[in-house]
């Protein structure tokens, strides 16, 4: 079954904290973090995004027009900034906190700053990504033991080509399961709409307004992904009555 953390045992923090970590660039880490935030916001949740990636991709997205009111973005360019960013985020009273960080030892230091209900490592179907995902799992387990907290860690298949045959991913899935690494039941499909978010800004409504294709299918994909995450942490949309709206 793989590792199950405090969240699976029922000892959850009042606000679910989710971290995205990947040692390899291009695996879809930041996209996965943003899509989770947008999907939760559409269900009425207030979400704090903490950008601990040195490249600040979420900060750049947040500076574009159309950011949903329900989502705030907080920069944490260094590990020392994580606690300050988390305190700033808490003042907005979020229902969720999502952290986008590196897949290095430096990035994993966020586990010493915050207690997480779930850690997610996105990966594509490449062999290199599998190797890096295994490294990430070992890193998460190591930091969890140091903190006395058996962190719940799942991999997320991302940037999956729509035409990819299921058997093409069988080797990837098999290797992860051999290491007892859990995989989220929903994958993120490679979509133009997901890429366009970082150019257009805002959420899916903004993409529709700009004529980006495939938004309906993208929304369905996000919904399945959010369902998988909320099922893991035991969150219900009834706990977040705030309506989804857009800023700017």
pLDDT digits (tens, 9 = 90+) for 202-243: 999 999 999 999 999 999 999 999 999 999 998 876 655 433
Tell me if 248 is assigned to some domain.
Answer: no
Tell me if 239 is assigned to some domain.
Answer: no
At 108 the pLDDT is 62
Show the DSSP H helices in the chain as ranges.
6-9, 29-42, 57-63, 81-90, 105-108, 110-113, 127-146, 170-178, 192-200, 204-209, 215-233
H or E stretch at 100: strand 96-100
Tell me if 1 is assigned to some domain.
Answer: no
Tell me if 129 is assigned to some domain.
Answer: yes
Tell me if 78 is assigned to some domain.
Answer: yes
Buried/exposed 210-222: b ≥16 CB within 10 Å, e otherwise: eebebbeebbebb
At 10 the pLDDT is 42
Q: pLDDT, tens digit, for every residue of 80-92?
A: 788 899 899 999 9
What CATH number does residue 157 fall under? 3.40.50.300
Residue ranges making up the domain that contains 67: 6-233
Tell me if 187 is assigned to some domain.
Answer: yes
H or E stretch at 180: none
Count of domains for the chain: 1
Tell me if 136 is assigned to some domain.
Answer: yes
- With a CB cutoff of 8 Å and minimum separation 6, the contacts of 7 are 16, 117, 118, 152, 232, 233, 234
Q: pLDDT, tens digit, for every residue of 23-57?
A: 777 788 999 999 999 999 999 999 999 998 888 99
């Amino acid at each position: 079954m793989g590792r199950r953390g405090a969240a699976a045992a029922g000892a959850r923090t009042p606000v679910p904290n989710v971290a995205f970590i990947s040692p390899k660039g291009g695996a879809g880490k930041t996209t996965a973090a943003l899509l989770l935030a947008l999907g939760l916001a559409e269900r009425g949740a207030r979400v704090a995004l903490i950008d601990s990636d040195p490249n600040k991709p979420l900060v750049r997205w947040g500076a574009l027009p159309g950011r949903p009111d329900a989502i705030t973005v907080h920069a944490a360019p260094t590990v020392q900034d994580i606690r300050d960013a988390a305190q700033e985020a808490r003042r907005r009273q979020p229902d969720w906190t999502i952290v986008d960080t590196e897949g290095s030892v430096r990035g994993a230091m966020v586990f010493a700053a915050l207690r997480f209900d779930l850690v997610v490592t996105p990966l594509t179907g490449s062999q290199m990504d599998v190797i890096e995902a295994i490294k990430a799992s070992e890193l998460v387990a190591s930091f969890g033991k140091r903190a006395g907290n058996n962190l719940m860690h799942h991999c997320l298949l991302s940037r999956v080509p729509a035409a990819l045959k299921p058997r093409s991913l069988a080797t990837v899935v098999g290797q992860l399961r051999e290491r007892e690494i859990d995989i989220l039941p929903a994958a993120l499909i490679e979509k133009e709409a997901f890429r366009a978010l970082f150019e257009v800004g805002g959420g899916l409504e903004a993409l529709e307004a700009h004529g980006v294709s495939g938004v309906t299918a993208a929304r369905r994909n996000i919904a399945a992904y959010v369902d998988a995450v909320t099922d893991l942490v035991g969150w219900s949309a009834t706990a977040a009555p705030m309506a989804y709206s857009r800023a700017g």
